[in-house]
Amino acid sequence: MNIQKLINSRFGTGLALWIGNTTPAWLGYRVANLAARWIASQRNLPMVRAVRANQWVVSGGKLQSEELDEVVLAVFKSNTRALYDFYHNLERPKKSLEMMEFAPDFQLMFDKMKSGQFPAVAIAPHLSNFDLGGRALGQRGLSLQILSVPQPPGGYQWQNSIRQNWGLELTPTSGESVQKARERLRHGGVVLTGFDRPLGEAKIKPRFFGRLSALPVAYLTLAMQTQVPVVIVAVIPNGKGTYQLIGLPPIEVETKKDREETLLYNAEKVLSVAEPLFRQYHRSWSMFYPVWPEALEQMP
């Protein structure tokens, strides 16, 4: 049985949704922790190996085997707790909003985005409860288009249908959806997408934590074509059992001698700005694909 496919299937998503809907918090968090411990103990599971390799690189190759075990467990605890908080509050919009505070600097940026004064390509890492963060943006009245993974598996399709109920426009990446994103940006809107999930094959490989990666750069093409900045928006744990939405200062795209050099230069510029965020909150980085595949054979 492919455990990772089961987790990402409609059955896996449905089970998480059922647990979130039917269990009180004291029991739900306990179930989430048990699930995290079980998944983290499956050291040969591809998603566990990916987390292990990613965390090893972020540590600068300093973490030893037992230390990696502890960090990997922390990642899955963060992820399962975030999923429980998300699903538990699907039918509790007020409680969902209370769990996500906006940092003061981000609130100012958000108000400009909402009024159409600040068109931007917003990019979000898979940190902490990013789904709850997306819901908070919609609940607070921001109209935005989310570019998601093309051809998502069954579980992701179900999650996407849930996300669309927040009033957000969620579109799997395609020629048509990218054209729609360009039009939105040109009319003062906001487009949101991820930037830390690796591609299978990539011609341009920006350095991230000092290593070549297969991270996407297409968001930069959007920013270049519409002459808008890139903004890193992230959800972080606030130490109170809830979450905070933050935004880093806007990053302007710089033009180089050709398209490929422009994309590479600006991708590395964006990733260098993002690195401290990943380093500080690495225990809540739910990236289950190897950003640096060679690290799978190098980690302890």
Give 190-240 pLDDT, tens digit per residue.
999 999 999 878 889 999 999 999 999 999 999 999 999 999 999 999 988
Instruction: Give me 85's structure tokens.
Output: 């908080």
- Residues with Cβ < 8 Å from 55, sequence gap 6 or more? 63, 68, 71, 72, 75, 282, 285
pLDDT tens digits, 71-90:
999 999 999 999 999 999 98
Contact residues for 111 (Cβ-Cβ < 8 A; gap 6+)? none
Locate 204 and state its tokens.
Answer: 């341009």
Query: Which tens digits make up the pLDDT trace of 268-294?
Result: 999 999 999 999 999 999 999 999 999
pLDDT band (50, 70, 90) for residue 45: very high
What was the pLDDT predicted at 155?
Answer: 46
Specify the pLDDT at position 8. 64
Per cent of the chain over pLDDT 90 is: 78
Q: What is the pTM of this model?
A: 0.92
Amino acid at 23: T
Residue 70 neighbours by CB under 8 Å, 6+ apart: none
How would residue 124 be classed by pLDDT, with cut points 50, 70 and 90? Answer: very high
